[in-house]
């Protein structure tokens, strides 16, 4: 599917062919994301970045992606915008700002706000995360990372065993990722979570309908044993509300070095959308896993920039102009 001029609202929009095209562009842009090459193709273009719900990392990743294509970014952040307080509708706000920009990224706690914004907008809207709904660019960079990691290991995604761990109920990242994983073949998806935070049935049905095997598991060690991919998530206290209180008796979901060594295969790829809760005793991926080469979490966050660059390139119809426009940078880079 040609993404030129399209809104990017959900992982549902992507088929494997579209993903292949997008990831080919991302591959071209990795050296730009690292500062080794540069490209100025979007000089003169403006991104309006509207983070009604804060997310420093996601916002800065979009910034870097647009800026490294040569474009300029205009922001607004914070739960309460001045005009929204005065009774302005999200549709009016989106329509007005779309008149200033060439593309908008919106993050909003309300699941419907981004769809309403897209309907009112003159320019493409990219969903930067909407409440418990979706986070499609996170899913895109996750799958890009899985592909890269599996390729380095000489393995296939099709047929692999995938453990999804943590808060599978409110974790929108997981929901968007299940949709993209389901485009592949013959996966075993193991949903590992406390009983109060199991994955909504709609996503399980979607994966099952696509021919994948689903396993539900409330015990961490059993769930991650023998998986090719371990995708961990944080128990998000701010979304889970009362459910977290019920977590007390739910067993241990802390992923430690000892558990990785005891239960995970040598080729297992360990991912996490970050931020993780690094505090001692948090039900999350522990700091002591730091030196484990299976940990792909920072290669994963790094890949957010080339993937988001590729998305901008396709939505703005310039993907085919990338390769001939690359130049070497002159500054000291990583």
- Give the residue with the Cβ less far from a copy of itself, 98 or 182: 98
Active site positions, annotated: 57-58, 86, 107, 135
Q: What is the β-pairing status of strands 327-328 and 37-38?
A: antiparallel
Of 5 and 195, nearer to a copy of itself (C-beta) is: 5
CB of 160: closest distance to a copy of itself in angstroms?
26
Write out 85-120 in H/E/C secondary structure: HCCCCHHHHHHHHHCCCCEEEEEECCCCHHHHHHHH
**What one-character DSSP code corresponds to residue 285?**
B
In sequence order, what are the beta bridge partners of 191? 164, 216
Q: Quote helix, strand, coil % in the chain, to nearest 5.
A: 45, 15, 40
Sheet containing 229-232, strands listed edge to edge, beginning at the edge strand earlier in sequence: 213-217, 188-192, 161-165, 229-232, 269-271
The pair of three-digit structure tokens given for residue 275, joined into one six-digit string = 């931020």
CB of 261 to a copy of itself, least distance (A): 21
Q: Which is nearer to a copy of itself, 86 or 209 (CB)?
A: 86
Write down the least CB distance from residue 181 to a copy of itself, Å.
23
CA–CA separation, 23 vs 27, rounded Å? Answer: 6
**Angstrom distance (rounded) from CA 315 to CA 219:** 42
Closest contact distance (angstroms) between CB of 198 and a copy of itself is 22
Shortest CB 331 distance to a copy of itself, Å? 4
User: C-beta of 9: minimal distance to a copy of itself in Å?
Assistant: 18
Question: Residue 2 and residue 15: Cα distance in Å, rounded?
Answer: 11
Q: Which is nearer to a copy of itself, 254 or 267 (CB)?
A: 254
Q: How far is it, in rounded angstroms, from Cα 196 to Cα 213?
A: 22
Smaller CB separation from a copy of itself, 203 or 253:
253
- Closer of 161 and 304 to a copy of itself (Cβ): 304
Dihedral, CA atoms, 35, 36, 40, 45, nearest 10 degrees? -20
């Amino acid at each position: 599917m040609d993404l030129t001029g399209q809104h990017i609202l959900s992982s549902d929009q992507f088929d494997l062919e579209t993903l292949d095209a997008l990831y080919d562009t991302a591959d071209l842009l990795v050296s730009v994301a690292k500062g080794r090459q540069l490209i100025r193709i979007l000089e003169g273009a403006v991104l309006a970045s509207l983070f009604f719900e804060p997310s420093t990392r996601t916002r800065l990743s979009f910034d870097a992606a647009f800026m490294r294509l040569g474009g300029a970014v205009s922001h607004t952040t914070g739960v309460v915008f001045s005009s929204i307080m005065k009774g302005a509708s999200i549709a009016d706000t989106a329509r007005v700002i779309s008149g200033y920009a060439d593309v908008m990224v919106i993050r909003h706690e309300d699941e419907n706000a981004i769809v309403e914004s897209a309907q009112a907008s003159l320019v493409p809207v990219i969903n930067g995360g909407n409440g418990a709904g979706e986070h499609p660019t996170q899913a895109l960079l996750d799958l890009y990372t899985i592909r890269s990691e599996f390729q380095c290991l000489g393995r296939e995604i099709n047929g692999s065993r995938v453990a999804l761990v943590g808060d599978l109920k409110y974790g929108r990242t997981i929901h968007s990722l299940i949709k993209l994983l389901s485009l592949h073949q013959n996966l075993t998806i193991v949903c590992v979570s406390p009983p109060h935070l199991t994955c909504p049935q709609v996503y399980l049905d979607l994966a099952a309908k696509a021919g994948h095997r689903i396993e539900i598991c409330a015990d961490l060690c059993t769930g991650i044993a023998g998986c090719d991919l371990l995708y961990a998530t944080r128990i998000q206290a701010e979304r889970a509300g009362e459910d977290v209180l019920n977590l007390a008796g739910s067993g241990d979901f802390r992923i430690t070095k000892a558990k990785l060594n005891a239960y995970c295969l040598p080729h297992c790829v360990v991912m996490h959308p970050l931020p993780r809760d690094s505090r001692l005793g948090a039900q999350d991926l522990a700091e002591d896993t730091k030196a484990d080469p299976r940990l792909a979490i920072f290669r994963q966050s790094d890949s957010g920039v080339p993937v988001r660059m590729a998305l901008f390139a396709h939505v703005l119809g310039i993907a085919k102009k990338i390769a001939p426009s690359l130049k070497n940078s002159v500054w000291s880079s990583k």
